[in-house]
Amino acid sequence: MSTKLSQLAKRRHKLIVQAATQREALQQCIDPWRTPLTLADRGLSAIRYVKSSPILMMGTMALLGILRPTRAGKWLHRSWVLLQVARGWLSKT
């Protein structure tokens, strides 16, 4: 029985070493993607926040329009289009 336990212990150790090697290889493959994926995640979080509070976005765009009254309509239109794009895009995910 002890030989079987010894074999299991050796196999377990071998598997632990193999898993550690695979984790290191995976980390080396993922490291170059860490920054772009973090940026994409922040962008998606911002879009989700805007989707959850579209009045905030509309208010911000209206404030920008108030600061320059001649551009108010253009900014409100842009914010409306952005809201529609965000809703359409997030509804697909």
Of the CA atoms within 13 Å of residue 79, those in its CB half-sphere come to: 21
Q: Which residues contact 48 (CB under 8 A, 6 or more apart)?
A: 90
**39-88: pLDDT as tens digits:** 888 888 877 887 777 777 777 777 766 766 666 677 777 878 888 887 77
Domain boundaries, given as residue ranges, for the chain? 1-37, 53-93
Q: Which segments of 10-92 are extended strands (E)?
A: none
Looking at the whole model, is its pTM more than 0.85? no
First to last CA, the chain: 54
pLDDT single digits (tens) 4-21: 999 999 999 999 999 999
Angstrom distance (rounded) from CA 18 to CA 23 = 9
